[in-house]
Structure 1
């Protein structure tokens, strides 16, 4: 039996759920569960770290995602049953790591972890698993499981336009990132300037589709970089429809992503993309980075 902890926003959840699928692929003889207990807590709306997102979303966004959820008996057997996010973090500091638990150091979250994938027997996994190489063998299956539902009228119209034009998707994440020491300052104007300049070097007439939580910044800072080419600011997806920004990215012919798991998945799941531009480094930490797909263009 194997159990994978799920936490964070949708992008992080997708990495963890995909890791569970990779374990299922590697160990077809074992039962693989996911652990969503930390989303069921009275503290959900009160503490930083869990009130930034929309709760557990995988089952709502992806109807084909059907891995079973671990219950009390499965969790108690190989880990700890603490259905409260805040108390579970305290427990991690006070309780010993059980022999059946695997929790790599934080620096390994962006690196391919062969040991984790190949570990046999009962195991509870807690990490982020943000390396494309964890999922190489199941990419086609992931594209199927993470396929979107029927679009509403607004997104259906955008999909037609994205497919019709030389579309370039640009993701700009600000908001919470402005106060996160590990992520802030990487995807500034200079990054987007370099990537857009390279896109425009092909001489084609492009249409830029902007996905962001700070459209005012984008209008002020990105518009001067596109040399007068058409720009569409995608503003119609909010709340439970926010995931559609990621789905729309999967149709773009070129992508300039942020150092965010949200646009990472927009790029990884895209079946039509020619060029993906990604920032290097991915975060402000001195650690090994294996987060990039081999075909992506790193912008230094």
Structure 2
């Protein structure tokens, strides 16, 4: 049994699921999800469990099962410092890819963000299937999908929301500038003919006021009743992608199955330049 702890929003959950899914594929074992982060008693967390909308394994670890592995805060510090060892508990120690993690055998607990395709690239076909929606998205967004399919569609994701409103998040993550989006749209336009940009954002009014996109634009965020997981899937249906420094749009681009896709990502993913993001962005994506 492999237990992977889920934390954060949809993008983070997809990474955490993906590494666990690969490890059970390698070991021929079972995957269980620790979703205790989203317990209703955890009033400080505004996120929610989101993988139930997808064709993912819905097998949840009990409190008793997770307690067999978990450390308290002090022991976690000792573990990260190398003072205490636990052969069955794996806490992410660094942001870049750690090849030793893929040597994990059965009976293990994973806690981290694991933001590199190197942790799961070998099961891409499985993830493409399991990260598809249970509901038929064409029934709700048939006209939009027709427009996406019949044009040289490019998704643009602009994340502000919690990055801007929370000073701690803003200091750590930062936000992509209008200059980044201007350079990215110009780059795409130099590589493909007649691009049509489909914009996704948690602050669509800011986008309209601050991004000067001189090509046809469709603003999808803000459509009545559109859900975040539906936006991610619609991003993935576009032929090309311009992503933000966000795991959410990272997955929108990664799940894009266009063999000739162009993906543009920001060079600076975090404000903290000491964090090594070398393994975060796939080699064939363009960084600006």
Task: Write the mapping of 1:197-236 to structure 2, written as runs, cut at 5 A.
Answer: 197-202=186-191, 204-222=193-211, 224=212, 226-227=213-214, 229-236=215-222
Partner residue, 1:146:
131
Provide the secondary structure at the position in 2 that maps to 1:158: helix
| Pairwise CA distance, 1:170 | 0.3
Report Cα offsets for 1:234-268 as digits up to 9, x if no partner.
13457772211111111111110001011000000
Partner residue, 1:271:
257
| Pairwise CA distance, 1:78 | 2.6
The 1:203/1:270 distance shift into structure 2, 3 A limit, reads closer
Task: Write the mapping of 1:141-180 to structure 2, written as runs, cut at 5 A.
Answer: 141-148=126-133, 149-151=135-137, 154-178=140-164, 179=167, 180=169
Structure 2: how far apart are the matches of 1:238 and 1:292? 32
Q: 2:236 aligns with which of 235, 250, 273?
A: 250
Structure 2: how far apart are the matches of 1:259 and 1:277? 11
Report Cα offsets for 1:33-70 as digits up to 9, x if no partner.
211122114233xx2xx21x2x11111x11x2125211
Residues 27, 106 of structure 2: 8 Å contact kept: no
Task: Write the mapping of 1:95-134 to structure 2, written as runs, cut at 5 A.
Answer: 97=79, 99=86, 100-105=88-93, 108-109=94-95, 111-134=96-119
Residues 23, 104 of structure 2: 8 Å contact kept: no
Whether 1:31 and 2:33 are equivalent positions in the alignment is no
After superposing on structure 2, the runs of 4+ consecutive aligned residues of structure 1 that deviate more than 6 Å are none
| Pairwise CA distance, 1:121 | 4.2
Structure 2 residues not aligned, in runs of 5+: 80-84
Partner residue, 1:293:
282
RMSD: 2.0
Report Cα offsets for 1:195-238 as digits up to 9, x if no partner.
1111111362221110001111111222x2x32x2111113457
Structure 2: how far apart are the matches of 1:239 and 1:160? 19
The 1:150/1:281 distance shift into structure 2, 3 A limit, reads same
Partner residue, 2:61:
70
Residues 253, 274 of structure 1: 8 Å contact kept: yes
Report Cα offsets for 1:10-52 as digits up to 9, x if no partner.
1111110111101111211x333211122114233xx2xx21x
Q: How many residues align?
A: 273
Report Cα offsets for 1:129-148 as digits up to 9, x if no partner.
00011111011110000012
The 1:101/1:274 distance shift into structure 2, 3 A limit, reads same
| TM-score normalised over the length of structure 2 | 0.88
